[in-house]
C-alpha cells in the first residue's frame, strides 16, 4: 500500500536523529519497515518506531536523503509504501531480552512496547542515546551502555547483554543495530545457546521482494526478513562480512 501522509509530530531524539509521526491506518507489526519518500530525496527504507494508528519513523541524518527528511516539519507530506517484511515473532509466554544499538533502537521500540521486556540500549555516548523515555515507559527494566562510559555501563551493548544473561534466564534475544554489533550479539547468543531474532539491513530499492538488490545468501532481506532467526543467520555467510552496494557489487567490510 502506498499513501501520502501528513507529518503530525516531530521530536528531536538527539543532535542527529528525529522522530516523525504520521497517521496511517495500515496494519503494521513490530519490526516491519516502510519505504519513505518526499521530493528531493531517494526512496529509502525506515523501520517503524511506532506501529499503532499513529505511526512513526526515527531518522538518523547521515546522507542526502535522511538530511532531506530532517528538513521536514509538521504539516509536510511524506509518501509511505509498505509496511514490508517479517517483523519479530513475539509470544506472550516468553522472556525476551531486547537489545537496541544506535538508531536500531527504533526497530525494537514497538517490540518493547508490546512485550514490556527487559531492554539493553547501547550508544556511543549519552548524547547519542535515542528513544530513552519511551523505552523507560514500556520496558520492565532498561539498562544503558555507552562506549565512552558517559552514561550507564562503560562498554558495548553486547558486553552488557552478556552480564544480564548471566543474572537472569531469558528465552530469546531480540536485536537491531549496526551489523558489527549484531555480529557479536549473534556470536554471544550462539555461545549462550540462546535463540535470537535479529533485524538485518541491506541496500533496498523495491522493499517488496522484486528487484533482488537486498539478497543475502539467497534470502531477500526485505521480504524474507528483515528479522531473521539465529538458525537462519547461521547459514548466511555474508552476515558480518559482506554486503551489496547500490550497484549490486559485493563489498567486504571485515
Ligand atoms: C530495513 C531497514 C530499516 C532501516 N531503518 C532505519 C531507521 O529506522 N532509521 C534510520 O535512520 N535508518 C534506517 N535504515 C537505514 C537508512 O535506510 C539509511 O540510513 C538511508 O537509506 C541512508 O540514505 P542517505 O541518502 O541519507 O545516505 P547515503 O549517503 O546515501 O547512504 C549512507 C548509507 O546508508 C545506507 N543506505 C543508503 N541507501 C540505502 C537504501 N536504499 N537501503 C538501505 N540502506 C541504504 C548505505 O549503507 C549507505 O552506505 C534502515 C535500513 C533498512 C534496510
Ligand atoms: S529491495 Fe528489492 S528484493 Fe529486496
Q: Is 240 in the pocket of ligand 2 (CB under 6 A)?
A: no
Q: Is 213 in the pocket of ligand 1 (CB under 6 A)?
A: no
Q: Which residues pair with 22 in a beta bridge?
A: 7, 55
H/E element, 30:
none
C-alpha closest to that of 45 among 221, 207, 247, 227:
207
Residue range 82-115, pLDDT digits in tens: 999 999 999 989 999 999 999 999 999 999 999 9
If DSSP codes are grouped into helix, strand and coil, which group holds residue 24?
Answer: coil
Q: What percent of the chain has pLDDT over 90?
A: 92
Distance CA 44, CA 229 (A): 24
Residue range 181-214, pLDDT digits in tens: 999 999 999 999 999 999 999 999 999 999 999 9
Domains located in the chain, CATH noted? 2-84 (2.40.30.10), 96-252 (3.40.50.80)
How much of the chain is helix, strand and coil, in % rounded to 5? 25, 35, 40
Chain centroid offset of residue 95 CA: 20
* Maximum C-alpha span of the chain: 50
Distance CA 253, CA 11 (A): 33
Q: Is 206 in the pocket of ligand 2 (CB under 6 A)?
A: yes
How does strand 118-123 pair with strand 96-101?
parallel
Distance CA 99, CA 118 (A): 9
Nearest CA to ligand 1 atom 53: 201
Nearest CA to ligand 1 atom 44: 203
Distance CA 88, CA 225 (A): 9
Report DSSP state, residue 128: G
Would you tell me how many other CB atoms lie within 10 Å of the CB of residue 227?
26
DSSP string, 34-52: EEEE-TTS--EEEEEEEES
Give me the sign of the Cα torsion angle 226, 227, 229, 233. Answer: positive
121: its cell numbers: 540500549
CA of 214 from ligand 2 middle (Å) equals: 5
Q: How confident is the model at residue 254 (pLDDT cuts 50, 70, 90)?
A: low
Q: Is 64 in the pocket of ligand 1 (CB under 6 A)?
A: yes
pTM over 0.75: yes
Amino acid at each position: 500500500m502506498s499513501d501520502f501522509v501528513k507529518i503530525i509530530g516531530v521530536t528531536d531524539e538527539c543532535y542527529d536523529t528525529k522522530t516523525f509521526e504520521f497517521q496511517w491506518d495500515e496494519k503494521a507489526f513490530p519490526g516491519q519497515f516502510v519505504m519513505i519518500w518526499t521530493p528531493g530525496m531517494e526512496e529509502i527504507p525506515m523501520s517503524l518506531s511506532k506501529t499503532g494508528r499513529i505511526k512513526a519513523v526515527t531518522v538518523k541524518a547521515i546522507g542526502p536523503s535522511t538530511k532531506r527528511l530532517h528538513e521536514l516539519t509538521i504539516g509536510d507530506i511524506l509518501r509511505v509504501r509498505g509496511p514490508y517484511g517479517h517483523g519479530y515473532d513475539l509470544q506472550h509466554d516468553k522472556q525476551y531480552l531486547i537489545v537496541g544499538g544506535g538508531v536500531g533502537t527504533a526497530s525494537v521500540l514497538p517490540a518493547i512496547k508490546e512485550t514490556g521486556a527487559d531492554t539493553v540500549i547501547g550508544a556511543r555516548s549519552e548524547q547519542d542515546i535515542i528513544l530513552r523515555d519511551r523505552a523507560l515507559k514500556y520496558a520492565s527494566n532498561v539498562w544503558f551502555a555507552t562506549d565512552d562510559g558517559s552514561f550507564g555501563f562503560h562498554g558495548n551493548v553486547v558486553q552488557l547483554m552478556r552480564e544480564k544473561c548471566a543474572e537472569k534466564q531469558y528465552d530469546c534475544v531480540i536485536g537491531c543495530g549496526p551489523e558489527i554489533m549484531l555480529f557479536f550479539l549473534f556470536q554471544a547468543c550462539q555461545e549462550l545457546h540462546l535463540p535470537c531474532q535479529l533485524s538485518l539491513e541491506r541496500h533496498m530499492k523495491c522493499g517488496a521482494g522484486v528487484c533482488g538488490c537486498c539478497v543475502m545468501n539467497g534470502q531477500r532481506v526485505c521480504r524474507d526478513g528483515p528479522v531473521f532467526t539465529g538458525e537462519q543467520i547461521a547459514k548466511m555467510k555474508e552476515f558480518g562480512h559482506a554486503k551489496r552496494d547500490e550497484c549490486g557489487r559485493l563489498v567486504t567490510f571485515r
